[in-house]
Structure 1
Protein backbone atom coordinates (compact mmCIF):
# COMPACT_ATOMS: atom_id res chain seq x y z
CA UNK A 1 0.00 0.00 0.00
CA UNK A 2 1.05 3.62 -0.50
CA UNK A 3 0.65 5.90 2.48
CA UNK A 4 -0.46 9.49 2.03
CA UNK A 5 2.02 11.89 3.64
CA UNK A 6 1.39 15.34 5.02
CA UNK A 7 3.64 17.91 6.65
CA UNK A 8 2.62 19.72 9.84
CA UNK A 9 2.78 23.46 9.25
CA UNK A 10 3.98 24.05 12.83
CA UNK A 11 7.14 22.11 11.96
CA UNK A 12 8.31 25.21 10.07
CA UNK A 13 7.95 28.03 12.61
CA UNK A 14 9.96 30.60 10.64
CA UNK A 15 7.95 30.14 7.43
CA UNK A 16 4.73 31.70 6.27
CA UNK A 17 1.83 29.38 5.54
CA UNK A 18 2.39 29.85 1.80
CA UNK A 19 6.07 28.95 2.21
CA UNK A 20 5.19 25.86 4.26
CA UNK A 21 2.81 24.73 1.53
CA UNK A 22 5.52 25.29 -1.05
CA UNK A 23 8.04 23.24 0.93
CA UNK A 24 5.57 20.37 1.23
CA UNK A 25 5.07 20.38 -2.54
CA UNK A 26 8.79 20.58 -3.28
CA UNK A 27 9.42 17.60 -0.99
CA UNK A 28 6.76 15.56 -2.79
CA UNK A 29 4.60 15.43 0.35
CA UNK A 30 0.91 15.14 -0.40
CA UNK A 31 -0.55 17.65 2.05
CA UNK A 32 -0.12 20.23 4.78
CA UNK A 33 -1.72 20.05 8.22
CA UNK A 34 -2.69 23.50 9.48
CA UNK A 35 -3.22 25.17 12.83
CA UNK A 36 -2.78 28.36 14.82
CA UNK A 37 0.93 28.22 15.58
CA UNK A 38 4.09 30.16 14.72
CA UNK A 39 4.83 31.67 11.32
CA UNK A 40 2.43 29.47 9.30
CA UNK A 41 -0.44 30.13 11.71
CA UNK A 42 -3.96 30.65 10.55
CA UNK A 43 -5.50 33.68 12.25
CA UNK A 44 -7.88 31.91 14.63
CA UNK A 45 -10.01 34.98 15.29
CA UNK A 46 -10.51 35.54 11.55
CA UNK A 47 -11.19 31.86 10.92
CA UNK A 48 -13.89 31.79 13.60
CA UNK A 49 -15.42 35.02 12.30
CA UNK A 50 -15.14 34.33 8.54
CA UNK A 51 -14.54 30.61 8.07
CA UNK A 52 -15.45 30.43 4.38
CA UNK A 53 -13.34 33.43 3.41
CA UNK A 54 -10.27 32.09 5.22
CA UNK A 55 -10.85 28.69 3.61
CA UNK A 56 -10.88 30.26 0.15
CA UNK A 57 -7.57 31.96 0.92
CA UNK A 58 -5.76 28.78 1.96
CA UNK A 59 -7.14 26.82 -0.98
CA UNK A 60 -5.12 29.13 -3.23
CA UNK A 61 -1.94 27.42 -2.01
CA UNK A 62 -2.77 24.38 -4.14
CA UNK A 63 -1.98 21.71 -1.56
CA UNK A 64 -4.25 19.17 0.17
CA UNK A 65 -5.23 20.15 3.71
CA UNK A 66 -5.88 16.89 5.55
CA UNK A 67 -6.16 18.11 9.14
CA UNK A 68 -6.82 21.19 11.26
CA UNK A 69 -5.28 21.34 14.73
CA UNK A 70 -7.86 23.34 16.66
CA UNK A 71 -6.93 24.66 20.10
CA UNK A 72 -9.90 26.05 21.99
CA UNK A 73 -7.91 28.39 24.23
CA UNK A 74 -4.41 29.81 24.08
CA UNK A 75 -2.61 27.13 26.12
CA UNK A 76 -2.96 23.42 26.86
CA UNK A 77 -5.03 24.26 29.94
CA UNK A 78 -7.05 27.23 28.73
CA UNK A 79 -10.66 26.20 27.95
CA UNK A 80 -9.62 22.53 27.95
CA UNK A 81 -12.24 19.81 27.49
CA UNK A 82 -12.02 18.52 31.06
CA UNK A 83 -13.40 21.87 32.26
CA UNK A 84 -17.02 21.95 31.15
CA UNK A 85 -17.51 25.57 32.19
CA UNK A 86 -16.40 26.44 28.66
CA UNK A 87 -18.43 23.86 26.78
CA UNK A 88 -20.93 26.27 25.21
CA UNK A 89 -18.13 28.55 24.03
CA UNK A 90 -16.10 25.62 22.73
CA UNK A 91 -19.09 24.22 20.88
CA UNK A 92 -19.76 27.57 19.20
CA UNK A 93 -16.13 27.82 18.09
CA UNK A 94 -16.11 24.26 16.81
CA UNK A 95 -19.11 24.99 14.58
CA UNK A 96 -17.11 27.74 12.91
CA UNK A 97 -13.99 25.59 12.63
CA UNK A 98 -16.09 22.86 11.01
CA UNK A 99 -17.51 25.37 8.53
CA UNK A 100 -13.92 26.26 7.59
CA UNK A 101 -13.05 22.59 7.16
CA UNK A 102 -16.04 21.87 4.94
CA UNK A 103 -15.17 24.76 2.62
CA UNK A 104 -11.43 23.93 2.57
CA UNK A 105 -11.86 20.17 2.16
CA UNK A 106 -10.26 19.40 5.52
CA UNK A 107 -11.43 15.95 6.56
CA UNK A 108 -10.11 15.78 10.13
CA UNK A 109 -10.00 18.14 13.09
CA UNK A 110 -7.90 17.22 16.07
CA UNK A 111 -8.28 18.75 19.51
CA UNK A 112 -6.59 18.01 22.82
CA UNK A 113 -8.41 15.88 25.41
CA UNK A 114 -7.79 18.13 28.40
CA UNK A 115 -5.67 18.18 31.54
CA UNK A 116 -6.10 17.41 35.23
CA UNK A 117 -7.62 20.71 36.36
CA UNK A 118 -7.53 21.85 40.01
CA UNK A 119 -9.42 19.33 42.12
CA UNK A 120 -9.32 16.66 39.41
CA UNK A 121 -7.49 13.40 39.05
CA UNK A 122 -7.31 11.45 35.82
CA UNK A 123 -10.68 9.74 36.34
CA UNK A 124 -12.53 12.98 37.00
CA UNK A 125 -10.86 14.69 34.05
CA UNK A 126 -11.71 11.76 31.77
CA UNK A 127 -15.36 11.81 32.83
CA UNK A 128 -15.66 15.56 32.22
CA UNK A 129 -13.85 15.35 28.90
CA UNK A 130 -16.08 12.49 27.76
CA UNK A 131 -19.19 14.58 28.41
CA UNK A 132 -17.70 17.48 26.47
CA UNK A 133 -16.82 15.24 23.55
CA UNK A 134 -20.32 13.76 23.42
CA UNK A 135 -21.57 17.30 22.79
CA UNK A 136 -18.85 18.21 20.30
CA UNK A 137 -18.66 15.03 18.23
CA UNK A 138 -22.04 15.45 16.45
CA UNK A 139 -21.14 19.02 15.42
CA UNK A 140 -18.35 17.67 13.25
CA UNK A 141 -20.03 14.41 12.25
CA UNK A 142 -23.15 16.10 10.90
CA UNK A 143 -20.92 18.09 8.52
CA UNK A 144 -18.93 15.06 7.40
CA UNK A 145 -15.79 16.05 9.33
CA UNK A 146 -14.02 13.60 11.66
CA UNK A 147 -13.34 14.95 15.14
CA UNK A 148 -10.31 13.37 16.81
CA UNK A 149 -8.39 13.81 20.03
CA UNK A 150 -4.63 13.45 20.46
CA UNK A 151 -3.45 11.75 23.66
CA UNK A 152 -0.37 13.71 24.71
CA UNK A 153 2.20 14.24 27.41
CA UNK A 154 0.83 16.53 30.18
CA UNK A 155 -2.81 15.69 29.42
CA UNK A 156 -4.84 13.44 31.70
CA UNK A 157 -4.78 10.92 28.84
CA UNK A 158 -1.26 9.52 29.09
CA UNK A 159 -1.80 5.74 28.96
CA UNK A 160 -3.19 3.41 26.28
CA UNK A 161 -5.59 1.96 28.87
CA UNK A 162 -7.13 5.35 29.61
CA UNK A 163 -7.41 6.10 25.89
CA UNK A 164 -9.43 2.94 25.35
CA UNK A 165 -11.61 3.83 28.32
CA UNK A 166 -12.38 7.25 26.83
CA UNK A 167 -13.15 5.72 23.43
CA UNK A 168 -15.57 3.34 25.11
CA UNK A 169 -17.36 6.26 26.78
CA UNK A 170 -17.62 8.30 23.57
CA UNK A 171 -18.81 6.05 20.71
CA UNK A 172 -17.58 7.24 17.34
CA UNK A 173 -14.63 9.20 18.69
CA UNK A 174 -11.39 8.76 16.72
CA UNK A 175 -7.74 9.47 17.45
CA UNK A 176 -4.95 11.52 16.06
CA UNK A 177 -2.25 9.14 17.22
CA UNK A 178 1.42 9.86 17.89
CA UNK A 179 3.40 6.91 19.24
CA UNK A 180 6.01 9.38 20.44
CA UNK A 181 3.86 10.64 23.31
CA UNK A 182 3.66 7.12 24.71
CA UNK A 183 7.29 6.18 23.99
CA UNK A 184 8.35 9.34 25.82
CA UNK A 185 6.48 8.12 28.90
CA UNK A 186 8.08 4.68 28.75
CA UNK A 187 5.36 2.61 27.11
CA UNK A 188 6.42 -0.15 24.76
CA UNK A 189 5.40 0.15 21.15
CA UNK A 190 3.27 -2.99 21.28
CA UNK A 191 1.22 -1.43 24.09
CA UNK A 192 0.28 1.40 21.72
CA UNK A 193 -0.45 -0.79 18.68
CA UNK A 194 -4.09 -1.56 19.68
CA UNK A 195 -4.92 2.14 19.38
CA UNK A 196 -4.20 2.15 15.64
CA UNK A 197 -7.59 0.68 14.82
CA UNK A 198 -9.14 3.83 16.32
CA UNK A 199 -6.92 6.31 14.44
CA UNK A 200 -8.19 8.68 11.77
CA UNK A 201 -4.92 10.62 11.56
CA UNK A 202 -1.32 9.76 12.47
CA UNK A 203 1.68 11.82 13.59
CA UNK A 204 5.03 10.27 12.80
CA UNK A 205 8.42 11.00 14.38
CA UNK A 206 11.13 9.15 16.26
CA UNK A 207 11.12 9.17 20.07
CA UNK A 208 12.38 7.32 23.14
CA UNK A 209 11.80 7.22 26.88
CA UNK A 210 12.13 10.73 28.24
CA UNK A 211 12.27 12.36 24.80
CA UNK A 212 9.19 13.14 22.74
CA UNK A 213 11.33 13.64 19.67
CA UNK A 214 14.77 12.51 18.62
CA UNK A 215 16.81 11.85 15.51
CA UNK A 216 15.83 8.86 13.44
CA UNK A 217 18.73 6.64 14.50
CA UNK A 218 18.60 7.69 18.18
CA UNK A 219 15.05 6.61 19.03
CA UNK A 220 13.45 3.35 20.05
CA UNK A 221 10.39 3.28 17.80
CA UNK A 222 10.53 0.54 15.18
CA UNK A 223 9.22 2.44 12.18
CA UNK A 224 8.90 -0.60 9.93
CA UNK A 225 6.84 -2.37 12.57
CA UNK A 226 4.66 0.70 13.03
CA UNK A 227 4.00 0.98 9.31
CA UNK A 228 3.14 -2.72 9.15
CA UNK A 229 0.72 -2.28 12.05
CA UNK A 230 -0.99 0.52 10.13
CA UNK A 231 -1.17 -1.60 6.99
CA UNK A 232 -2.56 -4.60 8.84
CA UNK A 233 -5.21 -2.42 10.49
CA UNK A 234 -6.31 -1.14 7.08
CA UNK A 235 -5.37 2.43 7.97
CA UNK A 236 -6.13 4.70 5.01
CA UNK A 237 -5.62 8.17 6.50
CA UNK A 238 -2.64 10.48 6.27
CA UNK A 239 0.72 10.13 8.01
CA UNK A 240 1.79 13.55 9.24
CA UNK A 241 5.55 14.10 9.50
CA UNK A 242 5.77 16.10 12.73
CA UNK A 243 9.28 17.03 13.69
CA UNK A 244 9.10 20.32 15.62
CA UNK A 245 11.31 23.17 16.81
CA UNK A 246 9.62 24.42 19.97
CA UNK A 247 9.82 24.69 23.74
CA UNK A 248 7.25 21.96 24.38
CA UNK A 249 9.12 18.93 25.74
CA UNK A 250 12.42 20.68 24.88
CA UNK A 251 12.10 19.89 21.18
CA UNK A 252 14.74 22.37 20.06
CA UNK A 253 17.65 20.32 18.82
CA UNK A 254 16.82 18.48 15.61
CA UNK A 255 17.35 19.59 12.03
CA UNK A 256 13.69 19.65 11.06
CA UNK A 257 14.16 19.58 7.31
CA UNK A 258 16.72 16.77 7.41
CA UNK A 259 14.71 14.58 9.79
CA UNK A 260 11.51 15.20 7.81
CA UNK A 261 13.17 14.10 4.58
CA UNK A 262 14.74 11.06 6.21
CA UNK A 263 11.42 10.02 7.70
CA UNK A 264 9.69 10.55 4.36
CA UNK A 265 12.28 8.28 2.79
CA UNK A 266 11.79 5.60 5.46
CA UNK A 267 8.08 5.46 4.62
CA UNK A 268 8.65 5.42 0.87
CA UNK A 269 11.45 2.87 1.14
CA UNK A 270 9.29 0.54 3.25
CA UNK A 271 6.51 0.76 0.68
CA UNK A 272 8.83 -0.10 -2.18
CA UNK A 273 10.30 -3.05 -0.30
Structure 2
Protein backbone atom coordinates (compact mmCIF):
# COMPACT_ATOMS: atom_id res chain seq x y z
CA UNK A 1 0.00 0.00 0.00
CA UNK A 2 1.32 3.43 -0.90
CA UNK A 3 2.43 5.75 1.87
CA UNK A 4 1.79 9.49 1.81
CA UNK A 5 4.00 11.97 3.65
CA UNK A 6 4.36 15.73 4.10
CA UNK A 7 7.49 17.84 4.34
CA UNK A 8 8.10 18.84 7.95
CA UNK A 9 8.24 22.55 7.10
CA UNK A 10 4.54 22.44 6.17
CA UNK A 11 3.34 20.82 9.40
CA UNK A 12 2.52 22.89 12.51
CA UNK A 13 4.20 22.01 15.78
CA UNK A 14 7.18 22.94 17.89
CA UNK A 15 8.69 19.45 17.95
CA UNK A 16 8.81 16.38 15.74
CA UNK A 17 6.67 14.60 18.31
CA UNK A 18 3.89 17.17 17.86
CA UNK A 19 4.20 16.98 14.07
CA UNK A 20 4.05 13.18 14.12
CA UNK A 21 0.91 13.33 16.29
CA UNK A 22 -0.81 15.70 13.86
CA UNK A 23 0.14 13.68 10.79
CA UNK A 24 -1.11 10.47 12.40
CA UNK A 25 -4.39 12.16 13.34
CA UNK A 26 -4.87 13.32 9.74
CA UNK A 27 -4.11 9.86 8.35
CA UNK A 28 -0.67 10.46 6.86
CA UNK A 29 1.93 7.71 6.92
CA UNK A 30 5.15 9.69 6.96
CA UNK A 31 7.12 12.90 7.20
CA UNK A 32 9.90 14.22 4.97
CA UNK A 33 12.56 16.02 6.98
CA UNK A 34 15.69 17.85 5.83
CA UNK A 35 19.08 16.23 5.56
CA UNK A 36 20.27 18.46 8.41
CA UNK A 37 17.54 16.96 10.61
CA UNK A 38 18.96 13.49 9.96
CA UNK A 39 22.32 14.62 11.30
CA UNK A 40 21.30 16.82 14.21
CA UNK A 41 17.98 15.33 15.40
CA UNK A 42 18.46 11.60 14.88
CA UNK A 43 17.53 10.72 18.45
CA UNK A 44 14.42 12.89 18.48
CA UNK A 45 13.26 11.43 15.17
CA UNK A 46 13.88 7.88 16.34
CA UNK A 47 11.92 8.51 19.54
CA UNK A 48 9.02 10.09 17.64
CA UNK A 49 8.88 7.08 15.32
CA UNK A 50 8.76 4.70 18.28
CA UNK A 51 5.72 6.53 19.66
CA UNK A 52 3.82 6.91 16.37
CA UNK A 53 2.76 4.97 13.27
CA UNK A 54 4.27 7.83 11.24
CA UNK A 55 7.75 7.18 9.85
CA UNK A 56 10.51 9.31 8.35
CA UNK A 57 10.02 8.43 4.70
CA UNK A 58 12.78 10.61 3.28
CA UNK A 59 14.96 13.69 3.68
CA UNK A 60 15.22 16.62 1.28
CA UNK A 61 18.49 18.48 0.76
CA UNK A 62 19.61 20.49 3.81
CA UNK A 63 23.29 20.41 2.87
CA UNK A 64 25.58 23.25 1.78
CA UNK A 65 26.71 23.61 -1.82
CA UNK A 66 25.60 21.54 -4.81
CA UNK A 67 26.82 18.50 -6.70
CA UNK A 68 27.78 20.66 -9.70
CA UNK A 69 28.90 23.68 -7.71
CA UNK A 70 31.65 25.49 -9.65
CA UNK A 71 33.30 26.42 -6.36
CA UNK A 72 35.41 23.33 -5.50
CA UNK A 73 35.20 24.00 -1.78
CA UNK A 74 31.39 24.24 -1.90
CA UNK A 75 31.10 21.08 -4.00
CA UNK A 76 33.37 19.13 -1.67
CA UNK A 77 31.35 20.37 1.30
CA UNK A 78 28.13 19.15 -0.34
CA UNK A 79 29.66 15.74 -1.05
CA UNK A 80 30.94 15.35 2.52
CA UNK A 81 27.64 16.38 4.09
CA UNK A 82 25.63 14.15 1.77
CA UNK A 83 27.78 11.15 2.72
CA UNK A 84 27.10 11.78 6.41
CA UNK A 85 23.38 12.36 5.83
CA UNK A 86 23.03 9.14 3.85
CA UNK A 87 24.58 7.15 6.68
CA UNK A 88 22.21 8.79 9.18
CA UNK A 89 19.24 8.15 6.91
CA UNK A 90 20.16 4.48 6.66
CA UNK A 91 19.90 4.23 10.46
CA UNK A 92 16.30 5.50 10.28
CA UNK A 93 15.46 3.32 7.25
CA UNK A 94 14.41 6.26 5.09
CA UNK A 95 13.86 5.93 1.35
CA UNK A 96 16.82 8.25 0.89
CA UNK A 97 18.19 11.77 0.72
CA UNK A 98 16.92 13.96 -2.11
CA UNK A 99 19.29 16.09 -4.16
CA UNK A 100 19.10 17.85 -7.52
CA UNK A 101 22.24 18.46 -9.53
CA UNK A 102 21.96 22.09 -8.43
CA UNK A 103 19.34 24.72 -7.68
CA UNK A 104 19.44 28.34 -8.81
CA UNK A 105 22.95 28.29 -10.27
CA UNK A 106 21.80 28.43 -13.90
CA UNK A 107 18.66 28.05 -15.98
CA UNK A 108 18.59 26.33 -19.34
CA UNK A 109 18.30 28.76 -22.24
CA UNK A 110 15.55 30.88 -20.72
CA UNK A 111 17.41 34.02 -19.66
CA UNK A 112 19.07 35.47 -22.80
CA UNK A 113 21.48 37.08 -23.36
CA UNK A 114 23.05 35.43 -20.29
CA UNK A 115 25.07 32.32 -21.09
CA UNK A 116 26.88 30.04 -18.69
CA UNK A 117 30.65 29.86 -18.90
CA UNK A 118 30.30 26.08 -18.61
CA UNK A 119 28.89 23.60 -21.11
CA UNK A 120 26.23 21.07 -20.21
CA UNK A 121 28.79 18.36 -20.89
CA UNK A 122 31.15 19.90 -18.31
CA UNK A 123 28.36 20.18 -15.76
CA UNK A 124 27.30 16.59 -16.37
CA UNK A 125 30.87 15.37 -15.93
CA UNK A 126 31.07 17.26 -12.64
CA UNK A 127 27.83 15.64 -11.51
CA UNK A 128 29.08 12.17 -12.42
CA UNK A 129 32.29 12.75 -10.48
CA UNK A 130 30.37 13.93 -7.39
CA UNK A 131 28.02 10.97 -7.52
CA UNK A 132 30.84 8.45 -7.88
CA UNK A 133 32.42 9.81 -4.70
CA UNK A 134 29.10 9.52 -2.88
CA UNK A 135 28.48 6.00 -4.17
CA UNK A 136 31.86 4.81 -2.92
CA UNK A 137 30.86 5.86 0.59
CA UNK A 138 27.16 4.94 0.51
CA UNK A 139 27.79 1.40 -0.66
CA UNK A 140 29.73 0.90 2.60
CA UNK A 141 27.61 2.86 5.08
CA UNK A 142 24.15 2.43 3.57
CA UNK A 143 21.69 5.04 2.39
CA UNK A 144 20.25 6.01 -0.98
CA UNK A 145 20.62 9.27 -2.89
CA UNK A 146 17.44 10.26 -4.71
CA UNK A 147 18.37 12.31 -7.77
CA UNK A 148 15.73 14.91 -8.63
CA UNK A 149 15.44 16.55 -12.06
CA UNK A 150 14.16 20.13 -11.77
CA UNK A 151 12.54 22.40 -14.32
CA UNK A 152 14.63 24.49 -16.72
CA UNK A 153 14.06 27.73 -14.81
CA UNK A 154 15.97 26.61 -11.71
CA UNK A 155 18.48 24.07 -13.04
CA UNK A 156 20.04 23.51 -16.44
CA UNK A 157 21.81 20.19 -15.79
CA UNK A 158 18.94 17.73 -15.26
CA UNK A 159 15.43 18.75 -16.34
CA UNK A 160 13.70 15.57 -17.51
CA UNK A 161 13.36 12.10 -16.04
CA UNK A 162 15.21 10.75 -19.06
CA UNK A 163 18.21 12.99 -18.39
CA UNK A 164 18.36 11.93 -14.75
CA UNK A 165 18.02 8.26 -15.65
CA UNK A 166 20.89 8.52 -18.14
CA UNK A 167 23.12 9.65 -15.26
CA UNK A 168 21.78 6.96 -12.92
CA UNK A 169 22.44 4.26 -15.50
CA UNK A 170 25.95 5.54 -16.15
CA UNK A 171 26.72 5.39 -12.43
CA UNK A 172 25.24 1.89 -12.28
CA UNK A 173 24.78 1.65 -8.51
CA UNK A 174 21.58 0.79 -6.60
CA UNK A 175 22.33 3.58 -4.10
CA UNK A 176 21.42 6.23 -6.71
CA UNK A 177 17.73 6.32 -7.58
CA UNK A 178 15.25 8.69 -9.22
CA UNK A 179 12.69 10.98 -7.60
CA UNK A 180 10.13 12.48 -10.01
CA UNK A 181 8.32 15.64 -8.93
CA UNK A 182 4.87 16.25 -10.42
CA UNK A 183 5.38 20.03 -10.43
CA UNK A 184 8.60 19.85 -12.42
CA UNK A 185 7.22 17.12 -14.69
CA UNK A 186 4.26 19.35 -15.52
CA UNK A 187 6.78 21.75 -17.09
CA UNK A 188 9.27 19.33 -18.62
CA UNK A 189 7.46 16.12 -19.58
CA UNK A 190 5.20 15.93 -22.64
CA UNK A 191 3.29 13.04 -21.04
CA UNK A 192 3.71 12.61 -17.28
CA UNK A 193 2.14 9.16 -17.12
CA UNK A 194 4.20 7.84 -20.03
CA UNK A 195 7.43 9.18 -18.53
CA UNK A 196 6.67 7.62 -15.15
CA UNK A 197 5.87 4.30 -16.77
CA UNK A 198 9.03 4.38 -18.89
CA UNK A 199 11.36 5.07 -15.96
CA UNK A 200 9.51 3.35 -13.11
CA UNK A 201 12.27 0.81 -12.48
CA UNK A 202 14.54 3.61 -11.25
CA UNK A 203 12.02 5.43 -9.03
CA UNK A 204 12.71 5.38 -5.29
CA UNK A 205 10.39 8.15 -4.09
CA UNK A 206 7.94 10.73 -5.54
CA UNK A 207 7.32 14.43 -4.81
CA UNK A 208 3.78 15.79 -5.02
CA UNK A 209 2.74 19.33 -5.88
CA UNK A 210 0.19 20.71 -8.29
CA UNK A 211 0.83 22.77 -11.41
CA UNK A 212 0.85 26.06 -9.47
CA UNK A 213 3.08 24.73 -6.68
CA UNK A 214 0.08 24.50 -4.37
CA UNK A 215 -1.28 21.39 -2.68
CA UNK A 216 -2.41 18.53 -4.94
CA UNK A 217 -5.96 19.17 -6.10
CA UNK A 218 -5.55 22.95 -6.36
CA UNK A 219 -4.14 23.06 -9.88
CA UNK A 220 -4.68 21.18 -13.13
CA UNK A 221 -2.33 18.16 -12.97
CA UNK A 222 -3.98 14.81 -13.70
CA UNK A 223 -2.71 12.86 -10.70
CA UNK A 224 -4.98 9.88 -11.40
CA UNK A 225 -3.25 9.01 -14.67
CA UNK A 226 0.20 9.43 -13.11
CA UNK A 227 -0.75 7.23 -10.18
CA UNK A 228 -2.21 4.63 -12.54
CA UNK A 229 1.09 4.50 -14.44
CA UNK A 230 3.02 3.99 -11.21
CA UNK A 231 0.58 1.36 -9.99
CA UNK A 232 0.74 -0.54 -13.28
CA UNK A 233 4.55 -0.44 -13.14
CA UNK A 234 4.55 -1.92 -9.64
CA UNK A 235 5.76 1.13 -7.71
CA UNK A 236 5.36 0.45 -3.98
CA UNK A 237 7.24 3.35 -2.38
CA UNK A 238 6.22 6.58 -0.72
CA UNK A 239 5.06 10.01 -1.86
CA UNK A 240 5.81 13.30 -0.11
CA UNK A 241 3.99 16.60 -0.50
CA UNK A 242 6.40 19.45 -1.27
CA UNK A 243 4.58 22.69 -2.07
CA UNK A 244 3.19 25.99 -0.83
CA UNK A 245 0.25 25.98 1.57
CA UNK A 246 -1.85 29.14 1.34
CA UNK A 247 -4.20 28.75 4.26
CA UNK A 248 -4.64 26.76 7.44
CA UNK A 249 -2.56 23.56 7.16
CA UNK A 250 -4.75 21.84 9.75
CA UNK A 251 -7.62 22.19 7.30
CA UNK A 252 -5.82 21.93 3.97
CA UNK A 253 -3.41 19.04 4.58
CA UNK A 254 -6.18 16.56 5.48
CA UNK A 255 -8.08 17.71 2.37
CA UNK A 256 -4.99 17.10 0.24
CA UNK A 257 -4.63 13.56 1.57
CA UNK A 258 -8.28 12.80 0.80
CA UNK A 259 -7.76 14.10 -2.74
CA UNK A 260 -4.63 11.98 -3.22
CA UNK A 261 -6.27 8.80 -1.96
CA UNK A 262 -9.20 9.35 -4.33
CA UNK A 263 -6.82 9.93 -7.23
CA UNK A 264 -4.84 6.83 -6.31
CA UNK A 265 -7.99 4.71 -6.35
CA UNK A 266 -9.23 5.92 -9.73
CA UNK A 267 -8.72 4.18 -13.04
CA UNK A 268 -8.54 6.95 -15.67
CA UNK A 269 -10.35 6.63 -18.96
CA UNK A 270 -8.22 5.24 -21.78
CA UNK A 271 -10.06 7.03 -24.56
CA UNK A 272 -13.46 8.08 -25.95
TM-score bucket (shorter structure): 0.7 to 0.9
TM-score (structure 1 length as normaliser): 0.76
Partner of 1:96: 84
Residue of structure 2 in register with 1:106 after alignment: 94
In the alignment, is the contact (CA less than 8 A) between 2:194 and 2:229 conserved in 1? Answer: no
Q: Where in structure 2 are the equivalents of 1:1-273 lying within 5 Å?
A: 2-12=1-11, 16-35=15-34, 42=37, 47=39, 54-62=41-49, 63-73=54-64, 79-83=65-69, 85-86=72-73, 87-114=75-102, 119-153=117-151, 154-156=154-156, 157-172=158-173, 173-185=176-188, 187-190=190-193, 192-193=195-196, 194-207=198-211, 211-213=212-214, 216-219=217-220, 221-245=221-245, 253=246, 256-270=249-263
> How much does 1:185 deviate?
4.8
RMSD: 2.8
* Unaligned stretches of 5+ residues in structure 2: 107-115, 267-272
TM-score by length of 2: 0.77
* Cα 1:102–1:21 shift into 2, 3 Å: same
**Conserved in 1, the CA contact under 8 Å of 2:56 and 2:94?**
yes
**How far apart are the structure 2 equivalents of 1:189 and 1:107?**
22
State how far apart, in whole Å, the 2-side matches of 1:167 and 1:105 are.
21
Count of equivalent residues? 244
Distance 2:23 2:263 in 1: 20
User: Which is worse superposed, 222-231 or 106-115?
Assistant: 106-115
List gaps (5 residues or longer) in structure 1.
74-78, 246-252
